[in-house]
Amino acid sequence: MSELVRPEASATRQTGAAIGRAIRGFVEANRAPLGALAVFGVMMAVFLAANPRVFSEWNIYRSVLTTLPVALFLVVPLVFVVTVGEIDLSFPATMGFAAWIFAVVVHAGFSPYLGALAAIFTGMFLGLVVGSVVVYFNLSSLVATLGMNFVLRGVIQIANEGMPIALTSLRESSLRTVFASPVLGVPAQSLWALAFVIFAALLFNRHRFGVQVKIVGDNPDSARQMGIDVNWVRVKTFIFVGLGAALAGIVSTLINFTWWPTAGEGYFLPVLASVFVGGTPTWGGVGTVVGGAIGALTVSFIQTGVIGAGLSGFYVQFFDGVIIILSLIGHRWNQARYR
C-alpha cells in the first residue's frame, strides 16, 4: 500500500501519526490532572446552565480568586506528603501559628517583611518538628499530626486567650501592595499562588526531591536499598508543608488586616478534600500537583456556585460531599494501581 501513496501525502500522514502519538502520550502521562479538570469542567457547566447571568460576570470569579490562593499554598505541599505515603493534619495550626508570629512581629512595629521572614522560618521549623516526631518515632502520621494540630492550636489559645491581633498598619504596607492587592482586577495573591503551583509542579516532576518523594512513597524498602535517605525525604515533605502553611498564613492575614487565634481552622477539611479531588490517590507513590490545584479550584467554587445557582447555603455541604464522592469514583476508574 505505502508505495501507492505520494511522498508528500505519506509525510503528512507521518507527522499526523506523530502528533497523535504525542497527544496519546500526554494524556497517558496526565490522566489524574485531566480527570480533575474534567470534574471541574462538568461542575462549572452545570452551574452555568443553572444561572448563566451570575456565572458570566467577573465578580464571582474575583471573589474566588481572593481566597483560593490561601488554599493553594496548603494543597500543593500536601500533595507531596500524601505521595510520600504520609499525611499531615497539623497544617491548620501550623498556618495559624506562623501567622501569629507574623502578627506579633508586625504589631511590635517591625517591618512586615521581617514578620514574613519570621513566619516562614517558624512554619518550616514546625514542619521539621512535626515531621521528625512522626518519622523518627515511627508514629502513624494520621494520629500524630492530628495530635500536633491540637498541641499547636492549644499553645496559640493559651498564649492569646482567644484575643485577635488587629494590624491596621498593614493596610499601607508595601508587602500588602505586592502580595495582596489587585493587579488589573486580579488579586495579586492569586498570581503568586499560581507561581507557587508552577514551581511545585516542576519540583515534583523535574527535581531530585520530587522523584525521590514518589519512589519513597512507592516502595520505601527499595528506596532504602538504593541508598536513598528515606526518613529525611519524608521529613522534607513536612517542612515543605510548613513553608506552604506559613505563606498561606501571611497572605490570609494580609487580606484581613487581622490575625485570629482560629486562623487556618476553616481550611482543614476543604484543603484535605482538594488533594484527593485533584486525583492524588491515598496509597502513595503517585500524585499530581496540578491536579491538586484544580481540586482546590473545584472545592472553592462549590460554595460560590451553589449560592450563585440560586440554592440556599444549606445545600453547600451536600454538594461538597457529592463532588468529593463523584471525583473519587472517577479517579478510581481513571487510574490503575500497580504494585
Partner 1 sequence: MAERIVELCNISKLFGRICALSGISLGIETGEVVGLIGDNGAGKSTLIKILAGVVQPTSGEILVRGGPVTGWNAARSRNAGIETVFQDRALAMQQSVVRNIFMGRELAGRFGWLKLGREMREAERLMQEIGFTSKLLSPRSIVGQLSGGERQGVAIARAIYNEAELIILDEPTAALSLIETDKVFRFVRQVKASGRSVLFIGHNIHHVYDVADRFIVLDRGQVALEASRADLPSAEALITLMEELARPPRGLVPSFAHAEQSQ
Q: Does 57 bind partner 1 (CB under 8 A)?
A: no
Element of type H or E holding 107: helix 91-107
**Cα(99)–Cα(6) distance, integer angstroms:** 68
CB of residue 293 to partner 1, shortest distance in Å: 21
Q: Which of 181, 222, 282, 317 binds partner 1 (CB under 8 A)?
A: 222
Of 35-43, 56-64, 143-151, 205-213, the segment contacting partner 1 by CB under 8 A is: 205-213
Q: Which of 9, 18, 22, 29 binds partner 1 (CB under 8 A)?
A: 29
The phi, psi pair for 140, rounded to 5°, reads -70, 120
From the list 13, 21, 24, 208, which residue makes contact with partner 1 (rule: CB under 8 A)?
Answer: 208
Contact 118, 101 (CB under 8 A): yes
Longest dimension (CA), the chain: 85
Among 227, 312, 314, 333, binds partner 1 (CB under 8 A): 227
The one among 9, 46, 226, 329 contacting partner 1 by CB under 8 A: 226
Residue type, 61: Y
What gap in Å lies between CA 64 and CA 42, rounded to an integer? 18
Q: Three cell numbers at 332?
A: 478510581
C-alpha span between 84 and 217 (Å, rounded): 4
Query: With binding defined as CB under 8 A, does residue 332 bind partner 1?
Result: no
Cell for 263? 486562623
Is there binding between residue 219 and partner 1 (CB under 8 A)? yes
> In the complex, what is the shortest distance from the CB of residue 86 to partner 1, in angstroms, rounded to a whole number?
16
Q: Which range of residues in 48-56, 102-110, 213-221, 304-312 is near partner 1 by CB under 8 A?
A: 213-221
Question: Among residues 207, 282, 317, 318, which is the contact residue for partner 1, using CB under 8 A?
Answer: 207
Nearest-approach distance from CB 123 to partner 1, in angstroms: 22
Q: Does 212 bind partner 1 (CB under 8 A)?
A: yes
Q: What are phi and psi of 46, to 5 degrees?
A: -65, -45
CA distances 104 to 73, 98, 197, 217, 332, Å, are 22, 10, 28, 38, 45
Contact status: 140 vs partner 1 (CB under 8 A): no
Asked if residue 218 binds partner 1 (CB under 8 A), the reply is: yes
Q: Which residues, in sequence order, are bridge partners of residue 166?
A: 258
Site for partner 1 in 246-305 (CB under 8 A): 285-286
Which of 174-182, 203-211, 271-279, 288-296 is the region at the interface with partner 1 (rule: CB under 8 A)?
203-211
Distance in angstroms between the alpha carbons of the first and the last residue of the chain: 43
**Residues binding partner 1: what is the number (CB under 8 A)?**
26
Q: Is residue 209 close enough to count as binding partner 1 by CB under 8 A?
A: yes
Nearest to 218 by CA among 287, 144, 135, 293: 287
For every residue of 70-106, DSSP letters joined together read HHHHHHHHHHHHHHTT-----HHHHHHHHHHHHHHHH
Q: Is 22 in the site for partner 1 (CB under 8 A)?
A: no
Binding site for partner 1 (CB under 8 A): 25, 29, 206-209, 211-212, 214-215, 218-219, 221-229, 285-286, 337-339
